[in-house]
């Protein structure tokens, strides 16, 4: 058997994805490797395939218990003998597993880092041949990264204790230059082949929306995607709880996750989500590391995150199966305020000096600015993300909101001047909410209390609404006409450029999505264009095909229940779509479906064939639009 046979027989795939083949080749040549590939790119396969071709055992270090279980289940499903050793097992279960392992039962063993140096484990490794040690989520070893795990340093000590050094391979989705160096250095990779693939995730659709009521938007979205699984990220625990309450009242099957829940609640809620018992998860950013659920069809950010680093990682949890998925950020000016507040109250490790703390704060401010800029963007979202991460993006991707709508340029110089006078009149003492409130002429209690109702500027922009005023203020921030103090008040101040604009005839231009004057909605053509290029399952399958898809999905759910397994581990959404497209009638046709390997065919193939045969009555039928092959 060679690597292609393994790919086909066990995983049911016909070809390698970008980067996989060369990494596997290096490993089989006996080299250390470091693979940096985005989420969903298929890093697991890069060590699982060679693991099956090497004489000894492969140890995989992975930070999260849930992740290990998931991977081991998936391997067992594919007919590969694998096990995991971590604190979710009792001591007697562990010693049993190690016994079987010593007897050569397993090719791949997942281990939690803190288990490595235990007596039993060391005892076990001395008895067997270890061909490879793989460090998954390798960025956890770097103190530069956000996810540093001290237990990862144990890996190094463990390697040093081995009689014979195995090949060492490391994988991660996020590695800046610093983190990359750390991984190579700390893990002691020897002359490794380092492979970095592009960070673009073509199947993800990116959008920023600014709905008046975020709750309504979310409820509406979930309603329209009621059969899909998705994650909604909120900035704070309180937001999570509130939204959870609201959605529960609407009878949406939701669950939640944040650091304020007990570990038992977290475990249970996470499991309910993974097993599709509650398809919607509302969570803070505490949720998601190591969640390999491949059929997450959307990730909505209820609040803007603190950085694009965070955003891309969280949004990237959508569409791991390569099928179409949506990443939508719901932006409001208030988000900037929340994030400043979070930065101000960020707990600093006692280890830092004041200078370092200042440097970190500055870095965080820069990141927040770039994130805010993303939310205001009128150009291609994907291009902006890729450029931010140091890759050259194309100005038109065709699969983001901005590439699919028309903009118009509005000259807002007049409004900008009034905003400037208002800030001056208020003595530069207020933040964006108060200033926008004054200009709109809102008579909120707060404003009355401040005594601003007497201002000359009060109501001087009452012809446009408050949201748009804030939007214009943001444009001015972006153009450096204004700046905000770096404290929790975020007071609006004028820059020198603001002076200039009052004296010269420079214009301030606001590019905004084109609206249809009659309906105040986006123009019909823009909406239609958007709908057509927004990639959806319903674009591939016709209505008969979608019906078949639902039936196959039901069967998958039944089997998942029987086996106590997450549905996506039985077959991914992508596999089910391909099953509809090919609508196989026999074993050989079924084996051509992506994700159907021999082992899975033996287990489930016939049951799925039966559904297809019954649905079609054995008559050939086309379940998709256009030409697929
Ligand atoms: P990562 O760890 O890089 O985030 P995974 O290893 O979890 O990604 O893989 C993501 C998904 O891609 C899985 O469902 C996996 O089965 C699928 N996959 C991996 N390699 C291939 C391939 N060559 N062809 C088709 N699907 C693949
Ligand atoms: Mg992974």
CB 608 within 8 A of CB 588: no
What is the rounded distance in angstroms from the CA atom of residue 148 to the CA atom of residue 142?
A: 6
CA-nearest residue, atom 12 of ligand 1: 42
Query: pLDDT tens across 220-266, in order?
Result: 999 999 889 999 999 999 999 999 999 999 888 999 999 999 999 99
Cα–Cα distances in angstroms (integers) from residue 495 to residues 340, 414, 420, 432, in the given order = 20, 18, 10, 16
Task: Give the whole-number percent of the chain exceeding pLDDT 70.
Answer: 94
What is the rounded distance in angstroms from the CA atom of residue 239 to the CA atom of residue 515?
A: 31
pLDDT of residue 504: 79
CA-nearest residue, atom 9 of ligand 1: 42
pLDDT of residue 484: 83
CA-nearest residue, atom 20 of ligand 1: 42
Residues β-bridged to residue 257: 283
Q: Minimum mean pLDDT among 40-44, 149-153, 520-524: which range?
A: 520-524
Quickly state the pLDDT bin for 587 (edges 50, 70, 90): very high
Chain centroid offset of residue 140 CA: 17
Q: At what angle do helices 20-28 and 43-53 cross, to 10 degrees?
A: 30
**DSSP for residue 522:** B
pLDDT of residue 333: 78
Burial of 260 (0-12, 13-18, 19+ CB in 10 A): middle
Ligand 1 neighbours by CB, cut-off 6 Å: 13, 16-17, 20, 37, 39-45, 292, 294, 320-321, 572
- What is the end-to-end Cα distance of the chain in Å, rounded? 28
Quickly state the pLDDT bin for 179 (edges 50, 70, 90): confident
Ligand 1: nearest atom to the Cα of 294: 14
pLDDT of residue 529: 45
Tokens 């039936």, residue located: 551
**DSSP for residue 603:** I
CB 402 within 8 A of CB 329: no
Q: Does the structure show a pLDDT above 80 at 534? A: no
CB 598 within 8 A of CB 79: yes
Mutation probe of ligand 1 site: the residue of 42, 74, 170, 297 with most atoms within 8 A of C-beta: 42
Tokens 């018992």, residue located: 277
Higher pLDDT, 66 or 438: 438
pLDDT of residue 84: 96
Quickly state the pLDDT bin for 524 (edges 50, 70, 90): very low
Task: Name the residue among 145, 342, 309 with its Cα closest to residue 234.
Answer: 342
What is the rounded distance in angstroms from the CA atom of residue 181 to the CA atom of residue 561?
A: 44
Q: Does the structure show a pLDDT above 50 at 156? A: yes
For residue 77, the CA-to-ligand 1 centroid distance in Å is 15
Length of the chain: 629
Helix (H) or strand (E) holding 91: helix 91-102
Query: pLDDT tens across 298-321, in order?
Result: 999 999 999 998 999 899 999 988
Which pair of tokens denotes residue 449? 């209390």
Cα-flanking dihedrals φ and ψ of residue 502, to 5°? Answer: -75, -25
Torsion angle, alpha carbons of 385, 390, 394, 398, to 10: -20
Cα–Cα distances in angstroms (integers) from residue 626 to residues 529, 535, 616, 622, in the given order = 18, 14, 20, 10
3 state SS of 199: coil
Task: Name the residue among 11, 99, 96, 85 with its Cα closest to residue 48.
Answer: 11
Q: Does the structure show a pLDDT above 80 at 395? A: yes
Query: pLDDT tens across 433-453, in order?
Result: 899 999 999 888 888 888 889
What is the rounded distance in angstroms from the CA atom of residue 176 to the CA atom of residue 228?
A: 33
What is the rounded distance in angstroms from the CA atom of residue 531 to the CA atom of residue 517?
A: 21
Of 330-344, 501-515, 541-555, where does the model show the most confidence?
541-555
Average pLDDT in the 521-525 region?
A: 49
Edge-first strand listing for the sheet containing 296-301: 204-209, 325-330, 296-301, 229-233, 280-283, 254-257
CB 574 within 8 A of CB 581: no
Cα-flanking dihedrals φ and ψ of residue 578, to 5°? Answer: -60, -35
**Helix, strand, coil percent values for the chain (each to nearest 5):** 50, 15, 40
**DSSP for residue 601:** I
For residue 43, the CA-to-ligand 2 centroid distance in Å is 6
Quickly state the pLDDT bin for 36 (edges 50, 70, 90): very high
CA-nearest residue, atom 25 of ligand 1: 13
Q: Does the structure show a pLDDT above 80 at 604? A: yes
Tell me the chain's radius of gyration from C-alpha atoms.
Answer: 27
Q: Does the structure show a pLDDT above 60 at 107? A: yes
Residues near ion ligand 2 (CB < 5 Å) are: 43
Cα atoms in the Cβ-side hemisphere of radius 13 Å centred on 9: 10
């Amino acid at each position: 058997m060679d690597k292609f046979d393994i790919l086909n027989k066990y995983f049911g795939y016909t070809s390698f994805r970008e980067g996989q083949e060369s990494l596997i080749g290096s490993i089989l040549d006996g080299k250390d490797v470091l693979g940096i590939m985005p989420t969903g790119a298929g890093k697991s396969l890069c060590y699982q395939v060679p693991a099956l071709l090497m004489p000894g055992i492969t140890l995989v270090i992975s930070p999260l218990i849930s992740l290990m279980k998931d991977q081991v289940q998936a391997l067992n499903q594919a007919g590969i003998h694998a096990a995991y050793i971590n604190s979710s097992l009792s001591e007697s279960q562990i010693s049993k597993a190690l016994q079987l392992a010593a007897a050569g039962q397993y090719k791949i063993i997942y281990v939690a880092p803190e288990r490595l140096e235990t007596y039993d484990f060391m005892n076990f490794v001395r008895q067997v041949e270890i061909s490879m040690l793989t460090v998954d989520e390798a960025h956890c070893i770097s103190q530069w990264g956000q996810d540093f795990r001290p237990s990862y340093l144990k890996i190094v000590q463990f390697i040093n204790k081995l009689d014979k050094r195995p090949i060492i391979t490391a994988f991660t989705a996020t590695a800046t230059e610093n983190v990359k160096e750390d991984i190579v250095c700390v893990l002691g990779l020897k002359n490794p082949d380092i492979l970095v693939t592009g960070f673009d995730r073509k199947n993800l659709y990116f959008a920023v929306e600014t709905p008046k009521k975020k709750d309504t938007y979310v409820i509406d979205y979930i309603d329209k995607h009621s059969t899909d699984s998705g994650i909604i990220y909120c900035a704070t625990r309180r937001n999570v709880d509130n939204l959870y309450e609201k959605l529960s009242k609407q009878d949406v099957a939701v669950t939640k996750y944040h650091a304020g829940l007990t570990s038992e609640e977290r475990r249970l809620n996470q499991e309910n989500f993974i097993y599709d018992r509650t398809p919607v998860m509302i969570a803070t950013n505490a949720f998601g590391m190591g969640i390999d659920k491949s059929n997450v069809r959307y990730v909505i950010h209820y609040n803007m995150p603190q950085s694009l680093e965070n955003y891309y990682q969280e949004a990237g949890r959508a569409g791991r199966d390569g099928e179409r998925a949506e990443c939508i950020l719901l932006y409001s000016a208030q988000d900037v305020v929340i994030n400043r507040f979070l930065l101000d109250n960020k707990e600093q490790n006692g280890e830092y000096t004041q200078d370092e703390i200042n440097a970190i704060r500055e870095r965080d401010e820069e990141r927040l600015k770039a994130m805010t800029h993303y939310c205001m963007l009128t150009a291609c979202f994907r291009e902006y993300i890729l450029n931010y991460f140091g890759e050259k993006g194309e100005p038109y991707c065709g699969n983001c909101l901005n590439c699919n709508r028309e903009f118009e340029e509005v000259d807002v110089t007049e409004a900008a001047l009034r905003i400037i006078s208002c800030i001056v009149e208020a003595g530069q003492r207020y933040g964006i909410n108060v200033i926008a409130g004054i200009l709109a002429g809102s008579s909120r209690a707060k404003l009355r209390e401040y005594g601003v109702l007497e201002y000359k500027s009060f109501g001087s922009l009452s012809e446009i609404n408050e949201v748009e005023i804030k939007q214009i203020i943001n444009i001015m921030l972006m153009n450096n006409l204004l700046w905000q103090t770096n404290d929790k008040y975020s007071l609006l101040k004028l820059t020198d450029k603001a002076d200039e604009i009052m004296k010269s005839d420079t214009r301030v231009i606001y590019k905004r999505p084109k609206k249809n004057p009659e309906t105040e909605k986006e123009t019909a053509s823009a909406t239609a264009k958007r709908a057509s290029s927004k990639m959806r399952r319903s674009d591939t399958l016709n209505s008969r095909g979608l019906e078949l898809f639902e039936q196959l999905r039901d069967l998958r759910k039944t089997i998942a229940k029987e086996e106590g397994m997450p549905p996506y581990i039985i077959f991914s959404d992508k596999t089910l779509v391909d099953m509809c497209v090919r609508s196989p009638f026999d074993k050989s046709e079924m084996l051509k479906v992506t994700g159907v390997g021999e082992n899975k065919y033996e287990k489930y193939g016939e049951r799925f064939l039966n559904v297809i045969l019954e649905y079609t009555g054995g008559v050939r039928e086309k379940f998709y639009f256009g030409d697929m092959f």
